[in-house]
Structure 1
Amino acid sequence: MCLYRCATNCVVRLPPSLPVDLGFAVAYAIFGPGTMGLLMENGWDVIATRVAWSSVWWSLGFVLPSAMILYKFVVVAWQNIKLQRMNGVRSTQVQNPGPFGLAYARRMVLGLMRHKNLELWDELLRSTPGNTAETRLLGRRVLMTTDVENIKAILAAQFGDFGKGEPFHREWHDFLGDSIFTTDGEQWHASRQLIRPQFIRERVSDLDCFETHVHTLFRAIANGGALDGEHQAVDMAAGNGRRLDVSDLFFRYTLDVATEFLLGMDVKSLSTPRQQFADAFAEVQRVQSIISRAGPLHFLVPRRSFWAAMRVVDNLINTYIDRALRLSPSELEARVHKKGGLGYTFLHALAGFTRDRKVLHDQIMAVLLAGRDTTASTLSWTLYELARHPDVVGTLRAEILAVVGPARTPTYDDLKRMKYLSHVLNEVLRLYPSVPFNVRLALRDTTLPRGGGPDGRQPVAVLKDTPIAYSTLLMQRRPDLYPPPDEAAARGLPPPDAFAPDRWSRWQPRPWHYIPFNGGPRICIGQQFALTEMAYVLTRLFQRFDRVVSHMDEVDGGRPTMKADIVLQPGDGVFVSFLEAQNTTKEAPAERAEGGS
């Protein structure tokens, strides 16, 4: 029998089978911190010594969680009081059973793993007044919206009230540092001013970089995948109609273009099946996507592979930064202005403005991420849809042949003249915006214009540090933002969820109803570069090929899998076959028009 005596001579008798540590815990729970002194006073030194550390752990095990829970309740209560005092109301609350909102967190994780983010958001917001809802995740209020006016407020009308915020900066810092994508305020503005001049029309309209890699892309298509070395012999005719995953080739192509544009030398991922830099960059993004979705629990995400991959990426980028910093200002200027045929690179241009290695590294990483993945994902979705719509391919190819012909290299002006090509890209970006989900943090106490109250039309009160998630993917698919069915039928407009480039000749979205590149002061700087690159690739493809056959029914049953990591991409690849037109030469044409480039 184990006895614990209190100061008032009361005795707690515990069963002999009960461990001393657990027995002490019971006594500690009853008598409090005085338990240890009572043991010592009664001569139970051995037991006191044995349970000394146990008391510490039981304190941590019971007292700290209790204090944390109490703290959360106090914080939530105080937030509710502040919300009631503000000029706004609450939005519809999503039912989130279980402690700390873990049920919703589990659904988010499962949705991410199963590529069901679109379905999850649609389920949460479908019946919500004002297309805005809120929930609590780990005790923190989180807002979600697909409302046009709310998104406009976040990105433009109330730009100063919302930003990336310190949590985002902290979670992404190991990957993108203090770049344009992770900062706010003056630091963000300085980054934008540094980068903006590199995307002026003079730079965007220089198409030589695209053409060089299109030749390699054609060879990879004929090979059925990435080449086994730059000098691999490829039978272009034998590859006609071969089944391949064109999405993989697009991600390789855009990586080669991006690294040449940024650094002056491409990593040749189209010419190497297993490419160390490409694999490392993909692994960094994979882990970073998990970190960004883990939120307050991001410190639990294993990062061994992340750091190993970052070393590979950093080694390459730092090598080129070292070379650029060894050049004098006059040498840098000569390269930027193509004096002596040395050629322009993004890095040389930045190095002409700053010699800060960290600034150069962070901005290169940010532009590499944007320049590679967003363009590749949009090209992948374009081929996914074109392969299922041969009539669209026929119309598109007819325009390309009428403007450029079957062999001539297109100029920048040629690309701008092709309206149907623009309609195709607009329609793909309407259904599959590159960044489907995004988050901003309230930088001060503020409101959102709509989503509050029973009808969803009242302002929503937003406290400082509240995260607001918004989705252009869902907003651009909302049926109520399109003409009603009767009017649409009268005008010959297809349903909103249908891929139909022809709609753009009879319909134009209202302001803020279509923002694939975001909007406001943080609108994508490189959108014209991306649109030009995509238009160029599609033009060259359909000069050479007159048909593209889809093999996706056997892969996804005709229902696209939307993989939403950092960008939105086809989760099962894009398996197609290209069939060459009879009037296309066996080698990629190199004839160029005079002027206009």
Structure 2
Amino acid sequence: MAIMYIHPVFVYAIVVTLIFLSLRRFFTRRQFALRHGCQPVAKSANWEPFLGLDTIPGTIRALRQHKILERATELFRIHGTTFTVKELQRRAIVTIEPENIKTILSLKFKDYGIGHRLEPFRPLLGEGIFDTDGDHWSASRALIRPSFTRDQVADLACLEELIQDLFALLPRDGKTVVDLQELFFRYTIDSATDFLFGESVGTLRKTGSELGFAEAFHYAQKAVIVRGMLGRLSSFYRDRKADECNRMCREFAQRFVDEAFNAAEIKKKGGHDGAGQGKPRRKHIFSHELAWRTSDRRRVLDEVMNVLLAGRDTTASLLSNLFFMLAKSPTIWEKLRREVASLEGRTPTYEELRSLKYVQSCINESLRLHPVVPRNERQAIRDTVLPLGGGPDGLSPVFVSKGTLVCYNLYALHRRRDIYGADAHEFHPERWMTGKLRPRWAYLPFNGGPRVCIGQQYALTEVGYVLVRMVQEFRGLRSSSEDGREWEESLALTVCVNGGVQVVLLPDEGTSG
């Protein structure tokens, strides 16, 4: 067997070239940093600078105790509003400076991307609005945006149908404990699938053994988290159950996508676009609208899966976090009752929902105290600069090299006492009632800049509707007698309540259920 001979001169040339390129990059970046007045980030969460092994035990301990977000808040208290952290292959700048976040999400939007999400997300979501950059992302947003017009968001008929399904499962004896969180996740997947496909999966009407799709979707998301944490090592990760759940979820959605393209074909030929199975055509079905605008079936499937993820998890998490706090606050519930009484028992219209200031303040406060996407990150796609965080005082610009992760923690940001006051760790809706609180880039429950959540008003409307109807239906709710615990995180792609929202509901006199 012949052995290929490599001349030493060739090896020497390669080594010299690599050294030259490295030196040129070093000096180019140094000049770039000097030109912008950059200084290094002075604070680090690590004392071991190579692999960051010193922080891993604390991270593991916090994970087991469901206190990752609390630990992050403490790190900001110790190290300041911007510092660096390294754990194995991940090195990142982490910040809760509003000006830095504004720069990442808006002012220098094109300097950052989320392409690193694609591989972990792809098996479940494909390539859609939540895991792509550039032209693909722009096309996704343009494709989806028309489905979230005011007319679509203001159509509350479906929400009332589903709230009756929810009411049917709620005990009214004033004694039985119920987990509202489990029901909210079923409610929102029913709502999301009705919006997306024109047909709800109907989990609120099914028993535990019939909840296959919802359970598969939940497990598939857990696998996304694992792949994301492993990074490049995820190529060695195998989870057959996750593979099966991904297949089940995408095949489930595919049949509705196929039906949407069939309906679009009929409509283009001048026929009647019916909803199938003898049902009248709904005014708006998301998958139908996408099929009307593009002939790419894979693209529609991917976007449907992306919106399904957002429509289910963010809204259910917000409802769960909100009701957990309301169950501990009878005074706040009574204030809600007094405001909602202005409806005189009627179901609210879209305009009436927006006019209920205390209802909106409670939602705002839940999003502040427990932002449903509590931490996020971007990766620099070119050498760039952050305005703050450098030098001993943290007031100088910071050089951010291409490939660096910049993480921003909304959970910690929303608890900054210099912005929200000494009671920033408390649930206090009244802080939003005066109109004086204007945190701007220090309050980002739906992100900001060009990637601001496209379904923001849809989610707020749905949460507001559920809250108002629950207030109308029940004169009170309280945490179960054996459930005196404080809020504790259950952290995945979104954050909800570990252990669920265990409450006793006190029915209003004269409610029909």
Identity percentage over the alignment?
37
Amino acid of the residue matched to residue 523 of structure 1?
A: V
How far residue 336 of structure 1 moved from its aligned partner, in angstroms, is 9.4
Shift, 1:321, TM fit: 1.2
Instruction: Find the counterpart in structure 1 of residue 426 from structure 2.
Output: 498
Q: Residues of 2 paired with 1:559 and 1:113: CA distance?
A: 16
Q: What is the CA distance between 1:77 and its match in structure 2?
A: 9.4
Q: Give the distance between the partners of 2:294 and 2:185, measured in 1 at CA.
A: 30
- Which residue identity does 1:563 align to in structure 2? S
The answer to whether the Cα contact below 8 Å between 1:446 and 1:461 also exists between their aligned partners in 2 is yes
Is the alpha carbon distance of 1:500 and 1:289 closer, same or farther for their aligned partners in structure 2, counting shifts above 3 Å? same
Name the counterpart of 2:11. Answer: none
| Secondary structure at the counterpart of residue 93 of structure 1 | coil
State the match for 1:481 in structure 2: 419
SS of 2:78's partner is coil
Q: Which of residues 137, 152, 169 in structure 1 aligns to 2:87?
A: 137
Aligned residues: 483
Partner of 2:410: 472
- Is 2:341 aligned against 1:383? no
Sort the Cα spacing of 1:471 and 1:410 in 2 relative to 1 into closer, same or farther, 3 A.
same
Q: After superposition, give the CA deviation of every residue in 1:417-476 in whole Å (9 maximum; x if it has no partner).
A: 211111110111010111001110001000111001100001111000111111111101
Match of 1:316 in 2: 252
1:97 maps to: 48
Alignment of 1:352-431 (within 5 A): 352-402=292-342, 404-406=343-345, 408-431=346-369
When the two structures are superposed, what TM-score results if normalisation uses the length of structure 1?
0.77
Q: For the Cα contact (< 8 Å) 1:115–1:561, is it kept in 2?
A: yes
Displacement of 1:220 in angstroms is 1.1
Please, which of 505, 526, 529 is the counterpart of residue 458 of structure 2?
529
Picking from 481, 487, 493, the partner of 1:566 is 493
Q: How far is 1:161 from its partner?
A: 0.8
Q: Would you say the 8 A contact 1:336–1:345 is kept in 2?
A: no
Query: Helix, strand or coil: the match of 1:470?
Result: strand
Report the secondary structure of 2:424's partner residue: coil
Supply the distance in 2 between the matched residues of 1:161 and 1:342 (Cα, whole angstroms).
Answer: 44
Residues 1:180 and 2:129 aligned together: yes
Q: Could you say which residue in structure 2 is the equivalent of 1:3? A: none
Matches within 5 A, 1:189-588: 189-222=138-171, 239-272=173-206, 273-274=208-209, 275-329=211-265, 331=267, 335=273, 341-343=280-282, 344-402=284-342, 404-406=343-345, 408-483=346-421, 495-506=423-434, 507-551=436-480, 554-555=482-483, 557-584=484-511, 586-587=512-513
Question: RCO greater where, 1 or 2, for CA within 8 Å and sep 6 or more?
Answer: 2
Q: Aligned partners of 2:24, 2:66: CA distance in 1, in Å? A: 37
Q: 1:136 to 1:80 in 2, by over 3 A?
A: farther
Structure 1 residues 569 and 139, CA gap change in structure 2 (3 angstroms): closer
Structure 1 residue 500, shift from structure 2 partner: 1.0
The worse-fitting range, judged by mean Cα deviation, of 245-254 and 73-82 is 73-82
**What amino acid sits opposite 1:530 in the alignment?**
A
Measured after TM superposition, the shift of residue 80 of structure 1 is 7.0
Partner Cα separation in structure 2 for residue 416 and residue 330 of structure 1: 38
The root-mean-square deviation of aligned C-alpha atoms, in Å, is 2.5
Unaligned runs of 5+ in 1: 1-72, 223-236, 486-494, 588-597
Distance 2:458 2:98 in 1: 26
Distance 1:103 1:583 in 2: 60
Structure 1 residue 241, shift from structure 2 partner: 3.6
1:337 and 1:318 map into 2 onto residues whose CA distance is: 16
User: Contact conserved, 2:76 with 2:412, CA < 8 A, in 1?
Assistant: no
**Contact kept in structure 1, 2:263 and 2:273, CA below 8 Å:** no
Residue aligned with 2:478, SS? strand
Partner Cα separation in structure 2 for residue 210 and residue 221 of structure 1:
17
Asked if the contact 1:262–1:346 (Cα under 8 Å) also holds between the matched residues in 2, the reply is yes
Question: Matches of 2:476 and 2:396 in 1, distance apart?
Answer: 52
Quick one: structure 1 residues 389 and 283, their matched pair in 2 at CA, closer, same or farther if it must change by over 3 Å?
Answer: same
| Shift of residue 329, structure 1, vs aligned partner | 4.0
Distance 1:75 1:510, change over 3 A: farther
Deviates more, 1:499-508 or 1:352-361: 499-508
SS of aligned partner of 1:142? strand
Secondary structure, in 3 states, of the residue corresponding to 1:293?
helix
SS at match of 1:441: strand
SS of aligned partner of 1:175: helix
2:76 maps to which of 111, 125, 136: 125
Alpha carbons 1:451, 1:458 under 8 Å: kept: yes
Q: Is the 8 A contact 1:89 1:459 kept in 2?
A: yes
Distance 1:474 1:75, change over 3 A: farther
* Contact 2:120–2:225 (CA under 8 A) maintained in structure 1: no
- 8 Å contact from structure 2 (residues 118, 127) kept in 1: yes
Letter of the 1:164 partner, please give it.
Answer: I
Shift of 1:496: 1.2
Structure 2 letter corresponding to 1:496: A
Deviations 1:26-67 (A, max 9, x none): xxxxxxxxxxxxxxxxxxxxxxxxxxxxxxxxxxxxxxxxxx
**Per-residue deviation at 1:197?**
0.4
Classify the secondary structure of the residue corresponding to 1:512. Answer: helix
Q: Tell me the secondary structure at the aligned position of residue 118 of structure 2.
A: helix
* Amino acid in structure 2 at the alignment position of 1:147: E
Greater radius of gyration (CA): 1
Distance in 2 of aligned mates of 1:478 and 1:132:
13
Distance 1:390 1:82 in 2: 61
Residue 115 of structure 1 corresponds to which residue in structure 2? 66
- Could you say which residue in structure 1 is the equivalent of 2:5? none
Matching of residues 68-79 of structure 1 within 5 Å: none
For 1:364 and 1:168, how far apart are their aligned partners in 2? 18
Preserved CA contact (<8 Å) 2:384 2:400: yes
8 Å Cα contact 2:384/2:402 also seen in 1: yes
Q: What's the offset of the Cα at 1:150?
A: 0.6
Q: 1:398 to 1:307 in 2, by over 3 A?
A: same
Q: Identify which range, 317-326 or 250-259, moves more after superposition.
A: 317-326
User: What SS does the aligned partner of 2:220 have?
Assistant: helix
